[in-house]
Amino acid sequence: MNNDNLFHNIHEECGVFGIFGHPEAANLTYLGLYALQHRGQEGAGICSSDGTKLFLEKSLGLVADIFNEKVIKKLPGHIAIGHNRYSTTGSSTIENVQPLMATYSLGSIAIAHNGNLIDIDPLKQRLERDGAIFQSTSDSEIILHLIARAKSGEPRERIANAVRQISGAFSLLLMTETELIAIRDPYGIRPLALGQIKDSYVVASETCAFDLIGANYIRDINPGEMLIINENGLNSIKIFNSVKPAHCVFEFIYFARPDSYIFDHICVNTVRKELGRQLAREHAVEADLVIPVPDSGVPAALGYAEESGIPFEFGLIRNHYVGRTFIEPKQSIRHFGVKVKLNPVRDALRGKRVIVIDDSIVRGTTSKKIVKMLRELGGAKEVHMRISSPPTIGPCFYGIDTPTRQELIASSHKIEEIRKYTTADSLGYLSIEGLRKVIPNSDIYCMACFNCKYPIEFQSKKVSQLELFE
């Protein structure tokens, strides 16, 4: 059993990290991936180059379990890229763990991809008709085949031509024997930042990876940009026509670490606290305590408490040391699934009117378990649910593992129906208008999960009614 599904039902696909010009490239990449572990926990890999040859080590599991001093010694060189995986396309097998590496007519190349490609079936079928043999079920491998099958041009030209043939969300790191190349899709859906440590350049999904290794943030990789990093320095090439950006707003709500700065150096923690303040303005209620669903609900709960004047308390404690799987006891234990990761603080909750702050409600099952646990185990007198984002009504096709639209409870049920299902005394979501007030330059963000307005078109699916109160 995968216990992550018992706690939260939305996952980021992955995190990427790359470095050029450092004698400990693989070791720093390991540290960068460690800082980005929250973006993917199914597998990790590092590919390095000593200037003449690529070296690859990858496995299923967490970064700290895969890489040790012995493994790092197998990754020599001054260039490296790394990847943390959470699968949205392709199964969880070692073949799908990135970076993916291939050898073709011009040498070797490796790729690490954060995001998700759309409408890839016709492209993959064409490649297979032309004789391509795929080693994985990851959509990222398509890019390698497109590069290898280009009829002419040096590697950077082939890479640019290959990327122009794909559609969707992609923050890419590619590496040849002598260069590190960073590419961001024209909409800039997933984050990707450039930093520097002494004379070396680093690229990462989030700036928290820079902080761990002592690198300074320089700027974001621009939407539609291909940045080539080699012994001559930086060379920026615009490979896509300009379109209106569509940054993923959910990075602020849930995915990015609070200490990161994303999308042109905006502090995630500051935004989340302000979301909580706005939520308090929109959905005030008389209560004794404000508590977060840890960890993603903490900044918003702090903001809610500050705005409302109601004391903040850690009423739920999260177990951070739970593995990805566990053996459930044969005898039924009440609230077992949610208690694996959360447990109430009875002395803080007993007899209190409690406001619980969470970042989102997906299927509603976890929220229902939390509310019941707060009442039955914690002894809370009242439980009021407050959500620091609008109702999630649309799935993401750009690199986030959301359930289908049919499984999203808010896509087919009114807020009062959701409240009754969760058994909360009251339920309030942040409005889209409130979200726009908080997010700087909110018109350049994708909010399809809240309004079903997708920046890249696809065929919509019919929504069916979820059966509640079974």
Is 267 known to sit in a ligand binding site? no
Q: Which residues pair with 54 in a beta bridge?
A: 49
The answer on whether 446 is annotated among ligand-binding residues is: yes
Cα distance from N-terminal residue to C-terminal residue, the chain: 22
- Alpha-carbon distance values, 154 to 30, 47, 151, 233 (Å): 30, 21, 10, 18
Instruction: Please tell me whether 449 is known to bind a ligand.
Output: yes
User: Residue 452, annotated ligand binder?
Assistant: no
H-only helix segments in 233-320:
250, 268-282, 298-308
Alpha-carbon distance of 315 to 62, in angstroms, equals 29
CA distance 401 to 321: 23
Active-site residue, from 14, 47, 208, 267: 14
The DSSP letter of residue 215 is: P
- 358 is known to lie in a ligand binding site: yes
> Among 95, 34, 29, 101, which Cα is nearest to 65's?
34
Is residue 220 marked as binding?
Answer: no
- Cα 98 from Cα 61, distance rounded (Å): 12
Beta strands (DSSP E) in 86-204 are 100-104, 107-117, 168-175, 180-184, 193-197, 200-204
The answer to whether 47 is annotated as binding is no
14 is catalytic: yes
Instruction: Give how far Cα 169 sits from Cα of 117, 149, 257, 404, Å.
Output: 6, 22, 20, 18
Per the annotation, binding residues are 248, 296, 358-359, 396, 446, 449
Catalogue the active-site residues.
Answer: 14
Per the annotation, binding residues for [4Fe-4S] cluster are 248, 396, 446, 449
